[in-house]
A and B are shown apart, each in its own frame.
Chain A
Amino acid sequence: MTGYHETFGRLKRTALIPFFVIGDPTYEQSLELVKTALDAGADILELGIPFSDPIADGPTIQKADLRSLAAGMTPAKALQFIGEIAAFQPVPIGLLVYYNLIVQYGTERFCRDFKEAGGTSILVADLSIDDADEMIPAVEAAGLETVFMITPNTPEERIDAIAAKTTGFLYTVSRLGTTGERNDLSDSIRPLIARIKRHTNKPICVGFGISSAEHARQVANAGADGVIIGSRIVKCIEENLCTPERIAPAAGRFIAGIKAALEAAPSGG
């Protein structure tokens, strides 16, 4: 396991952070897919544990959650999965999870087990800084980092408060809404990153709606430390469900293309 500080410090460009729903479409295929992503140049992984009611996610990730759940994924198996990935290659692993799954597992035990599996940070999709204090002590005790979101409608003073609670990176979104592909990347991303940077020097990663090398390049040019790509990769699964052997190669090609674009872009941060 490696931390974000070291990773962002080492990279002279914007980090490539693919997102996967663990166990989509099956445990084994998902494992192969994530390993392929690492081979294709992923710098950090963002992994999600599927939830029955993912209110922050658009249709593509919702379907991925349902596929994974139908194939029998549980939080315990997801932690085992993370352990296998960490053993395959040391890479920072951020977790994206809905709060009820942690509450039912037991917050302290969850943080401990995730850290032990090789995890780096936890972002709880439905836990804002207002209620985060019921979880942060467990996160810190386990030696994990925190990741919180900043959205285009987050007020100035709240950016400070969010940054103060963040030890890993700030996850910001290109525009309002749920996860999912967008044809146009909002013009607001550059001013948003600039606005956040006036408040904090914490790393900033941008997600939601990044679906092409061109988008990734725009995000890199806007000064982001990382670019998170989710729905577009999950689409590679959706489009190849009848020919699962094509999933990993398709996603691998896409990720390699993004990586090349980021390496050609000027340095982020």
Chain B
Amino acid sequence: MKRKGRYGPFGGFYVPEVLIPALEEIEAAFERFRDDAAFVRDLDLLYKDYAGRPTPLYLAGRFSEIVGFSVYLKREDLLHGGAHKINNTLGQGLLARFMGKIKLIAETGAGQHGLATAIVGALFGMETKVFMGRTDVERQNVNVHKMKLMGAEVIPVEGGTGTLKDAINEALRYWTAHIEDTFYLFGTAAGPHPYPMIVRHFQEPIGREARRQCLEKIGRLPDLAVACVGGGSNAIGLFSAFLEDKDVRIVGVEGGGRGLDTHQHCATLVKGSVGVLHGCRSYLLQDENGQIYETECISAGLDYPGVGPEHAYLKDSGRAEYVSVSDEEVLDVFDLFCKTEGIIPALESSHALAWLLKQKGRLPKETAVVVNLSGRGDKDAGIVESHRPLAARMP
């Protein structure tokens, strides 16, 4: 029997039988179209003229001065929709179109993937349903509104703590009943095969561009590649280009939430153990019986108790290291970064910046870092305000 979609012992295909034909159909279509001339041409054009690729690599001068080494931002925050998510939704949306599917469903946490799916649904004229946990609907109401503006139906999910995990559960359930005409546009490089492979493929431009831009701008490869990790799609997009460059240190930063000694975090690789959830074997946050924990983290986009199987493999093989930062550290760097760079970083991306801030004085000044600024933080202004009201901070 085939053992597809494996990253060492991780990954796989652990889904109810009813989903197997649909996953095999998507896998076959992906293999057929990924290098198809018309598909590649259409996607490149969309990346360039619609989404805004390539994104710049920008030396964050004042932030670099503060930390004492050079920090280059991969500006995925400048993409249409405000995050790297559009890379994947354009790719999968186009794949759905080439397959002749007319309806899209998606799960979303922060709303960025939901928004990027709504954008593609409108662009291709496909009926779009976005499943979103009740808690996330409330804390990301701006994105909910934008999705609706673009004609998507947002379906609040009541189960669990109403976050990404629950949205995925419900999207999978819906898909089992509507598999014939509906394409499940999965948002991160996790889930059952072929999603980790497909999502990685469509996020690879991040790393490919960044690597080339490094060579052009600094004349060499970076010393470090850093990205935040929830499910891990922006991170695998960046890391994928550097995996063979053994001198490039690779660091993924997870959500440490209110502390790793609590259950209020989503540091799956740092604190989790191996198990099977949502179709793949990977690290999970779970109790000793295998029941999955509800996670909690200031950044809705990282709030997931699993992680992509390739990250699990990169951790165990030692090729990448995974660390975490706390909500407080994230809020600190968010504030600092806005004021020093004039860029509002997404709370997700702020995790990567927070880890860099902690490296102040620990890395030689010649160090060049590429960090994925995976999204912009306008959507998070309200959350930051609720934790640290501006009025209370003004002199």
Contact = CB atoms under 8 A, between A and B. Distances in A.
Answer whether A and B are interacting partners. yes
Interface of A: 51-58, 62, 69, 74-76, 99-105, 125-133, 148-151, 153-155, 158, 161-162, 173, 176-178
- Count class of interface residues, chain B: 35 or more
A100 B289 CA distance: 9
A130 B176 CA distance: 18
Interface of B: 1-4, 12-18, 20-22, 159-160, 165, 169, 172-173, 176-180, 274-279, 284, 286, 288-292
A153 B14 contact: no
A62 B17 contact: no
B173 A55 contact: yes
A126 B290 contact: no
Contacts of B284: 100
Contacts of B12: 131
Question: Quick one: which of A55, A103, A105 has the most chain B CB within 10 A?
Answer: A55
A176 B177 contact: yes
The binding surface of chain B is classed by DSSP as mixed
B20 A105 contact: no
A131 B192 CA distance: 12
A42 to B, nearest CB: 25
B292 A52 contact: yes
Contact of A99 (B2, B4, B17, B276): B276
Nearest to A75: B289
Contact of A130 (B13, B159, B165, B290): B13
Nearest to B15: A126
Contact of A153 (B2, B18, B160): B18
Nearest to A153: B21
Nearest to A176: B177
Contacts of A153: 18, 21-22, 179-180
Contacts of B179: 153, 176
A57 to B, nearest CB: 8
- Interface pairs A-B: 5 shortest CB-CB: A177-B177, A104-B290, A149-B17, A151-B18, A100-B290
B14 A131 contact: yes
B21 A52 contact: no
B290 A55 contact: no
A55 B1 contact: no
Contacts of B290: 51, 75, 100-105
Nearest to B192: A126
11 contacts: A51-B291, A52-B160, A53-B165, A58-B173, A103-B290, A128-B20, A132-B1, A153-B18, A153-B21, A176-B178, A178-B173
A74 B290 CA distance: 9
Contacts of B177: 176-178
Question: Quick one: which of B169, B274, B289, B292 has the most chain A CB within 10 A?
Answer: B289
A76 B276 CA distance: 19
B20 A130 contact: yes
Nearest to A74: B289
A177 B176 contact: yes
A55 B168 CA distance: 9
A127 B18 contact: no
B176 A176 contact: yes
Nearest to B4: A130
Question: Quick one: which of A105, A158, A178 has the most chain B CB within 10 A?
Answer: A178
Contact of A128 (B15, B22, B165, B292): B15
A104 B16 contact: no
Given A62-B159, A128-B13, A178-B173, A149 B18 contact: yes
A130 B274 CA distance: 20
A100 B286 CA distance: 10
Contact of A53 (B2, B18, B180, B292): B292
A149 to B, nearest CB: 4
A128 B14 CA distance: 7
A53 B14 contact: no
A149 B18 CA distance: 8
Nearest to A54: B169
